Amino acid sequence: MFPAWTWVVGFWFGAAIGSFLNVVIYRMPRGISISKPKNSYCPSCDKQLTAGELIPLLSWAFQKGRCKCGKNKIGSRYFIVELITGSLFAAIWYQQFCLYPQSSFEPLYTIRAIGYMLFAAALVAAIFTDLAHYIIPDEINAFMFVVGVGMNIAFAAFGLEEAWLWGIPSSLAGGLVGIGVLWGIAFLGRILFKKDAMGHGDIKMARGIGAVLLPLGAGLSFGMAVALGAVIGGIQVAMYRNKPAADCDENEEPYEPETISSLLKCGLGYVLCMDIFGLIRPKIYEWWFGENPYSVEEFEEEPEVEHTMIPFGPYLAAGALVVMLFAPQLQVLVDLYLEKNGFK
C-alpha cells in the first residue's frame, strides 16, 4: 500500500504517541487526570512546557535531559518510552502497510495496523507503570480489551473470517482464554500453595491480550512471557542473591492471601467486564469489587520491595509484542509442529 521508506512516518507518529504515554505513565498511578491540567509540565518545578520542549526525542536530547530552568533533571524514561513506541509503530507500519503487496485498500491489514499500534501503545504504558510502581491501571487494561473488540467489529463489518471463532466473536473467545489461563494460575496457586500466585492486573491484561491476539496468539504470548520471566528473573535473582534482605517492619500487618471467595467473584467479574463498566459507572465497580476504581491509596514514588520481587506484567506485555510482531514466523513453527505430530 505504501513505499517501504514510509516506515519513517510510522516512527515519528509513534514517538509523538510515546510523548503522550509519558503523561499517562506519570499521572495515572497518581490519580491525576490526563486531561487536567491540559498542558504538560515539569514534575519537579511545575513549569509549563513550551512547544519547543515537547518535540519527541529531540527536545530531551538537545536539552541534555534537563528542564529549561537548568536545575531539574528529566529522567531518561521519557526518551526511552518515545524511542520504543516509535520503533514499535515503525515496525507495525512496515509490516502491515509495506511488506505485503497491496494494489488497493486491504481491510485486514489496515485494521491490524491501527489496532496493533493502539495495542502496542497500551502495552508500553503498562510495562513502564508496572516496573515503576507495581501497578497496571484498570484504564490501560480496559483500553486493550476495547481495542480487541473494536478490531472484531471492524472484521465483522468487512465480512472477514477473523471476526468469528468457536461460534462467538473472536475477541471474546480470546479474552476468555486470557482470563482462563491467568486466573487459573492464580486459583491453583491459592489452592495448592495458599499464596497469591498472580496479580489481578495481570489477569485483566491477559484478557486484553487475548482480545487482540485471539486464542492462539494469546497462548503463544503467555508461553513467551513465562520463558522470558524464567530467564530474566533467574538472572535477576542470581545478581541479588548476596544482597541483604530488606528489613521487616515490625508494625507491618502479617501477610494474608486473598480469600478463595474473593478470587472467584473477581474472576467472574472480569468475565462479565464489570471492571470495565465500573470505570464508566464507579458505583458498579464499588458494588462488585468493594472499592472505588479511581481511589489512590498509599501511593509510593519509589516502593521498597525485595530485589527478587519481579512484576509479571512486563513479561506478559513483552510476550504479546513478540507474538504481534513475529506472528507469521511463529505461525509457520506452529504449523510445522502440528504437522509433525499428526494434527494436520
Quote the DSSP letter at residue 43: T
CB 184 within 8 A of CB 245: no
Mean pLDDT of the residues in the chain: 87
pLDDT of residue 282: 96
Which residues does the chain have with pLDDT short of 50?
none
C-alpha cell, 285: 465497580
pLDDT of residue 69: 64
CA distances from 124 to 86, 311, 316 (A): 11, 14, 11
The model's pTM is 0.91
Rounded distance between C-alpha atoms, residue 236 and residue 215, angstroms:
31
For residue 114, list its beta bridge partners: none
